[in-house]
A and B are shown apart, each in its own frame.
Chain A
Amino acid sequence: MTVSPAAALPPNGPPAPRRRRLGRKLAPWLFLAPGAIMFLVYVIIPIGQSIRISFFDWDGLSPKVWTGLSNYAELWGDPAFYTSLKNNVIWLVLYMLAIPAGLAIALFLNQTVRGIRIYKSLFFFPFVISQVVVGLIFSWFYAPGFGLFFEMTKWFGGEGVAVLANPDTVTYGIIAAGLWPQIAYCMILYLTGLNAVAPDQIEAARLDGAKGLKMLWYVVLPQLRPATFIAVVVTVIGALRSFDLVSIMTDGGPFGSSRVLSFYMYEQALSEYGYRMGYGAAIAVVLFAIMMIFISGFIWKMWRDEKGL
């Protein structure tokens, strides 16, 4: 694709240099304005507003009542909050399995046999479909009586396991559903990364007698670092954003045991039991603070990369 820019343009006389300098100073802000204003109104400002609302008692309609830190004080003694927080930690830890699992599938598929492209696409499939559909698929998979998984546990253990009905297993059942698309995402990142691994380095290492896991660890993985970085970013964000699956598969139950912070916030702020916007906002602020730790880390790394250019 070649474009000869000068030829494609109408012949404009060069404008006066002063006007042009001013134009070039203003131009970036004019280009930025529409997108930046939208983003400011819908994303940046609401973050500040949420933090403010978390200091009020508010049902969304009547006037807000300033209550200082009382929402946070209430969180401190709220067992449902701790259940959600604990589940978020479990999500975060187990979600990380998507990275090695994705790498394993990518290595398995990184061959050039006939039809491999279609295999790669089909393995990637779970990521393309919505979490609502993934949630419904796994609800069916686990369903006592109808579900394939339930049936399989019956064959192996004699008694079927109703994963989603048991407070001790429900979170793990939902995480397994979430891992399915997440592994697919990590797989595609690594497949793309493996394409770019320098073949001469592999050959050289092979001549030196490196193979298998050693080769993977010392030669291949260092070259896959950009893929790993993005895999970590999207997996952390994905784990902490988990809402859809919890809402679809269990609605937080049984007995609220599968709640996560994002879901608990929604429940408090917009539930049928009355709107507790202030309390919900406080939960959101806690989740935001946790996420900011990771986001700052990512931004810091990107910043360093920018400066290194």
Chain B
Amino acid sequence: MFPRPVQSMSPAARTTYQIALPVMLILWLLPLLGVALTSVRPSSDLAQGNYFGVPSYLAFSNYLDVFRNSPFASYMLNSFRVTIPTVIGAVALSCLTGYALAVYRFRGNLIVFFLFVAGNFVPFQILMVPVRDLTVTMGLYNTITGLALFHIAFQTGFCTLFMRNFIKALPRELIEAARVEGVSEWQIFWHVVLPLVRPAIAALSVLVFTFIWNDYFWATVLTTGAGTQPITAGLQSLNGQWVAAWQLVSAGSILAALPPVAMFFLMQKHFIAGLTLGAVK
């Protein structure tokens, strides 16, 4: 193990480490802690200039105010309405593409694979004008469907990369054995491969959920207004309305961050497996 385990060091070093851990953590999360504290600070405190002291009381009502005086609930709901179909769509499509690229040897296999990989890394701006145009032409501008369709297509790139590598690492004999038995290709996919890629499906689901929930760029390009915009874009426009009402901005930020944070804590193992692209074990 590297570095040397603290257990094997002097008692003084061990104590230092035990103290350093929480101190470092607090320093690391200082901006976040500040915002969390601001979110429960009553507006009267802010008006009197009490920005950093102990709040005179814990104003959880700030959280209610966020919902009361803005379409916050609508923004949150839109986020779910974009995110959930995208997760299902992108993961489903990539199970198919990943299987095709991992199991079959055919001409152009690697080229198709690397097109998915490269496409996944391009800057969004090179897609912006044509994708917006296409969405307008299909009559889907400023709709949840239009935004979700683009996300499904784009996330398929990343998901294919992950899924293909995952399936490639499965024992090939399983598939060969089924073929010898005369099982059809679709049946092999459905009954042999799909049950084995469940961990990959879990990893991709949490990751895509987080990516899409946190997307801001496409939300601003493809939607406008509280009826369709997800929370990221909504938060930005609310930030403009709540000038210097930091208690509301803070409470809104915390609320917007909650779903991906919950996802992460519930499915940590899968989340990390996904982030490392399966390349780092």
Contacts and interface: CB of A to CB of B under 8 A. Distances in A.
Interface of A: 1, 3, 5-6, 8-10, 12-15, 20, 23-25, 27-29, 31-32, 34-36, 38-39, 41-47, 49-50, 53, 60, 107-108, 110-113, 116, 119, 121-126, 128-133, 136-138, 140-141, 143, 145-146, 148, 151, 180, 185, 188-189, 192-197, 199, 202, 211, 215-216, 219-220, 226-227, 229-230, 233, 237, 240-241, 243-244, 247-248, 261-262, 265-266, 269-270, 277, 280-281, 283-285, 287-288, 291, 294-295, 298-299, 302-303, 306
Interface string B61-100: 0000000000000000000000000000000011011011
Interface string B146-161: 0001101110110010
Interface string B18-30: 1011001100111
A299 B275 contact: no
Given A35-B160, A136-B239, A46 B2 contact: no
B11 interface: no
A300 to B, nearest CB: 10
Given A216-B2, A288-B123, A46 B235 contact: no
A23 B186 CA distance: 10
Contact of B191 (A9, A194, A243, A277): A9
Contact of A15 (B184, B264, B281): B184
Q: What interface size band does chain B fall in?
A: 35 or more
B153 A43 contact: yes
Contacts of A244: 216-217, 232
Contact of A129 (B217, B260, B268): B260
Contacts of B128: 50, 265-266, 269-270, 280, 284
Given A6-B178, A125-B32, A47 B127 contact: yes
B280 to A, nearest CB: 5
A53 B38 CA distance: 47
User: Chain A interface mostly helix, strand, loop or mixed?
Assistant: helix
A219 B51 CA distance: 49
A247 B126 contact: no
Interface of B: 1-7, 17-18, 20-21, 24-25, 28-32, 34-35, 38, 46, 51-52, 93-94, 96-97, 99-101, 103-104, 106, 109-110, 112, 114-119, 121-134, 149-150, 152-154, 156-157, 160, 174, 177-178, 181-189, 191-192, 195-196, 210, 213-214, 216-217, 220-221, 232, 235-236, 239, 244, 246, 249-250, 253, 256-257, 260-261, 263-265, 268, 272, 275-277, 279-281
Contact of A302 (B114, B134, B185, B263): B114
Given A43-B127, A285-B126, A113 B17 contact: yes
B157 A8 contact: no
B112 A12 contact: no
B129 A269 contact: yes
Given A130-B214, A215-B2, A38 B261 contact: no
B126 A288 contact: yes
Nearest to A264: B125
Question: Interface residues of B: mostly helix, strand, loop or mixed?
Answer: helix
A188 B277 CA distance: 12
A288 B99 CA distance: 30
A28 B125 CA distance: 32
Given A28-B100, A112-B5, A287 B34 contact: no
Contact of B101 (A3, A32, A136, A243): A32
